[in-house]
Structure 1
């Protein structure tokens, strides 16, 4: 208890907490985009529940990993070499997660451009089972959770700060999940943009797995710029639609 009081009285700890919360929220955006795209393929009555389960799993995984911080740190130690490059368990998890993202995003883009004739004829929006959706979300939750916790460990040594930052970030994800999913569903072009983001994130995970560090600032600046252009396109379309209706 005394250590917690001392920590609360330390301005440096508060600065670390604020920085870490922002970092965790930004890292959670990737996870949330994937969850939104996957759950939007479920029947309408299952979507919200799947999002809550997916985000709940993300919180459980992050808190479970925080309980094994000492072990998580050792995940960065090389376990074998390939072509002279040492790969750790973290590297292999990032590479596998990146490949999964590339596969999933490419598959979704192909489906958007050339939908299955039978599904199109049936008129059903659901093309994914509930268990399959949760399984895919769980895989990416694991990848993003490990990346998130390793980032947290690198920024502070205080576990309580990490726990508060993780809970705050997942709470923001929970609040933003339904509005983001509705926005993506109402604007089909945003789906393609989000899938493009997932491809970029997948490539980044693979690059980092092989030791090529890609500054996150570059990635999120590109995403923010692309999102800004898409917002302008959406506003332009709405203005034209309103003008046609008024005429």
Structure 2
């Protein structure tokens, strides 16, 4: 089907809107990781690192769309172990999940252990040794690859039309680019949100691992749990802010 036919096809528009929403939702995982990781850089380098990281995600996804036939083959089994056939996609998900679990666990440890300032993603305190720019970009690139392959395979399963996939990917990455700095600033201003975000990454990493072993976890459950937890934390923040304002007003009087 050519471009003109797609533009006038209502089903194509429905597929596009559905795919854009799906890509944006799937991009939340990547965006949280990028936001937390770049907050570890010196302030003058953070926004540039986010733009480069998200730009690399766009380039990678568009490049992978050009090799859709090869991407689809990644789901073909290459060997069997423990009674389960493993494909390249499974191995990539497992490796990416282990990386996320490692990073999230490490940063939770650093957040809990106040004496450990060797590496702190949130960049709090003057004695923190900042991560190098190249190291941050390298880690973002690793997760970009994992999430990009998952994203493209999802897109291929939803529509056979390459132009729809390309528009959906560009739209989703544009949303990520616009939301990256506000999200990162919000996370940095609220330390409790940092711990919640790290817990999200830990859960997402665990989900990638079990999916790599063939256990399908409905994404709706994951994002519903994330939304509920975030809502509870927002309510806690409102309560804390009101208590601070009330305490401040009483002190003035």
TM range, smaller chain: over 0.9
SS in 2 for 1:176: helix
- Specify the alignment match of 1:49 in structure 2: 48
Distance 2:63 2:115 in 1: 40
Distance 1:122 1:194 in 2: 20
For normalisation by structure 2, the TM-score amounts to 0.94
Are positions 1:146 and 2:149 aligned together? yes
SS in 2 for 1:61: helix
8 Å CA contact 2:117, 2:127 repeated in 1: no
For normalisation by structure 1, the TM-score amounts to 0.96
- Specify the alignment match of 1:98 in structure 2: 97
Superposed CA offset, 1:150-195 (max 9, x none): 0000000000000000000000000000000000000000000000
- Specify the alignment match of 2:203 in structure 1: 200
- Runs of 4+ in structure 1 deviating by more than 2 angstroms, as ranges, are 115-122, 124-127
Structure 2: tracts of 5 or more residues without a match:
none
- Segment drifting more, 115-124 vs 54-63: 115-124
Give how far 1:126 is off: 5.0
- Specify the alignment match of 2:62 in structure 1: 63
Structure 1: tracts of 5 or more residues without a match:
none
8 Å CA contact 1:42, 1:125 repeated in 2: no
Are positions 1:123 and 2:115 aligned together? no
Name the Cα RMSD after superposition. 1.5
Are positions 1:171 and 2:165 aligned together? no
Within a 5 Å distance, the mapping from 1:1-247 to structure 2 comes to: 3-116=2-115, 123-247=126-250
8 Å CA contact 2:53, 2:137 repeated in 1: yes
CA distance 1:31–1:243, shift in 2 (3 Å) = same
